[in-house]
Structure 1
Amino acid sequence: MSRTNLSMSISADGYVAGPHQSREQPLGIGGQALHRWHIGPDADHPVNRQIVSEMLDGMKATIMGRNMFGPIRGAWDSDWQGWWGDEPPYHCPVFVLTHHERAPIELKGGTTFFFVTDGIESAYEQATAVAEGGPISIAGGASCARQAIAAGIVDEIDLQLSAQILGSGERLFDGFEPGSPDLELVRVLHAPGVAHLRYRVNRRQSRTATPAADTRSAGS
């Protein structure tokens, strides 16, 4: 059975993206600071290299929200193919949640983007089918992650916790009842400026998010 991992960089006040996301500010105002651990001077730290490897290497399928795929809203009226150029870092099938149909986009290095219009559980079924027992990644953004947790499909959550305070933006755990999801801290690693936390998810207790908090995700 496939193991499903959710991995996100998060601020000390619980945000995974800042406010006012756009083409110029894809992570919102201040959001890029959450990713200094892997795109800044400490990217070569052995712990940070280990975490990046765990996030990408060997993944057999990835699920993401349309907001992570790009800033386009409404019908697909552009030739946008994602933020990552001709060879994205995923090297596996990627299932993008959206409300608007689009033909798959095949890029270099084994990445093909498939656009799923019937929700997170359909995306998970398709990802499971292609993964053939291999690991699946929930790549974000925040709303896609919340839907995955609420659907009870996440086995473990990796949070890269920085000391940044964003003040507003997109929270990972908005819309959940107290005590849900049911998390068990199983690993703590650290590098300069970041603590890498791994939680095991008790999937039996995870179907308690408020659906209304997540329907905007798939994206417009």
Structure 2
Amino acid sequence: MSKLRVAAFTLSIDGFGAGSDQDLTNPLGVGGEALHTWMVGTRTFHKMVGKDGGTTDTDEAFAARSFDNVGAWILGRNMFGPIRGEWPDESWKGWWGDNPPYHVPVFVLTHHARDPIVMEGGTTFHFVTDGIHSALEQAKAAAEGKDVRIGGGVATIQQYLREKLIDNMHLAISPMLLGSGENLFAGIDMVRLGYRCTEQVATPNAMHVIIERA
């Protein structure tokens, strides 16, 4: 049965999933890229960016596990790029170059319509203007029984959490403070929504926690 998952989503100790002031230079906001130290050394990440090698430790196990059985993704518009408002043209096609790391259909939440973008490696970006439920319905159909993974950002995850639609989350808590940015749990009562922590594993670069809906 298809599940809606968050996986390998990194937070600072103070709960921020991205820094402030996202732009072309700082796609994850100021200081945000440092959150992902646990991931960038892994074999999975090296493969994503076309490099050989990488670690085969616990961080790698969680990184690899995040891609298991994923048949489609959902992204908020900020995860697709820094452009706000109407699309000025068709030139922006994401942060990742011609061959993004998804390799399955990706559904981007936006208020502004745009034709699908077919990329190399099996990724097609679809732009959904009629809300999170429509995006999930389309993603599940495209996933053909596999899971749907929410890539972020924080606001997108919060929307699905509030509707109790996320089945499980893997969060990697990075041992650093950001101080400002987008706080995942701001205004979210996870206990009231029925979520609980079912697994925790510490590594030098992260505390990996699994949170599931009861």
Change (3 A) 1:135 1:18: same
Match of 1:61 among 72, 77, 85: 72
Equivalenced residue count is 202
Q: Give the Å deviation of 1:201.
A: 1.6
TM-score normalized with structure 1 length: 0.87
Tell whether 2:82 aligns with 1:71. Answer: yes
Which position in structure 2 is the counterpart of 1:29?
Answer: 30
Structure-2 residue corresponding to 1:189? 201
Q: Which amino acid aligns with 2:12?
A: S
- Once the two structures are TM-superposed, the CA of residue 53 in structure 1 deviates from its matched residue by 1.4
User: Structure 2 residue aligned with 1:83, among 84, 90, 95?
Assistant: 95
- 8 Å Cα contact 1:157/1:201 also seen in 2: no
Q: Match for 1:128 among 117, 140, 143?
A: 140
Which letter does structure 2 place at the counterpart of 1:6? Answer: V
The C-alpha deviation readout for 1:15-40, integer Å capped at 9, x for no partner, is 00011111111111111111011114
Q: Contact conserved, 1:121 with 1:151, CA < 8 A, in 2?
A: no
**Counterpart code for 2:75:** M
Which segment drifts farther, 42-51 or 75-84? 42-51
Structure 2-normalised TM-score? 0.89
Aligned mate of 1:143, from 155, 164, 167:
155
Aligned-CA RMSD value: 1.6
**Alpha-carbon distance in 2 for matches of 1:116, 1:76:** 14
Specify the alignment match of 2:47 in structure 1.
none
Return the offset for 1:120. 0.6
* Residue 46 of structure 1, CA deviation: 1.8
The aligned amino acid for 2:88 is D
Question: What whole-Å deviation, never above 9, does each CA across 1:116-150 have from its counterpart, x for those lacking one?
Answer: 00111100000111112211101100001101111
Identical columns (%): 45
Mapping for residues 97-116 of structure 1, pairs under 5 Å: 97-116=109-128
The 1:20–1:135 alpha-carbon spacing in structure 2 relative to 1, beyond 3 Å, is: same
Task: Name the CA distance, whole Å, in 1 between partners of 2:42 and 2:110.
Answer: 35
After superposition, give the CA deviation of every residue in 1:84-122 in whole Å (9 maximum; x if it has no partner): 111111111000000000000111111100000011110
Pick aligned residue for 2:171 from 150, 154, 159:
159
Matches of 1:192 and 1:10, distance apart in 2: 15
Match of 1:210 in 2: none
Work out the CA distance in 2 between the residues paired with 1:51 and 1:108: 26
What corresponds to 2:21 in structure 1?
20
Equivalent position to 1:172, from 184, 191, 197 = 184
In the alignment, the residues of structure 2 paired with residue 178 and residue 64 of structure 1 have an alpha-carbon distance, to the nearest angstrom, of 21
Residue ranges of structure 2 left out of the alignment (5+ in a row): 44-53
Question: Contact between 2:105 and 2:124, CA under 8 Å: does it hold in 1?
Answer: yes
SS in 2 for 1:29: coil
Structure 1 unpaired stretches of 5+: 203-220
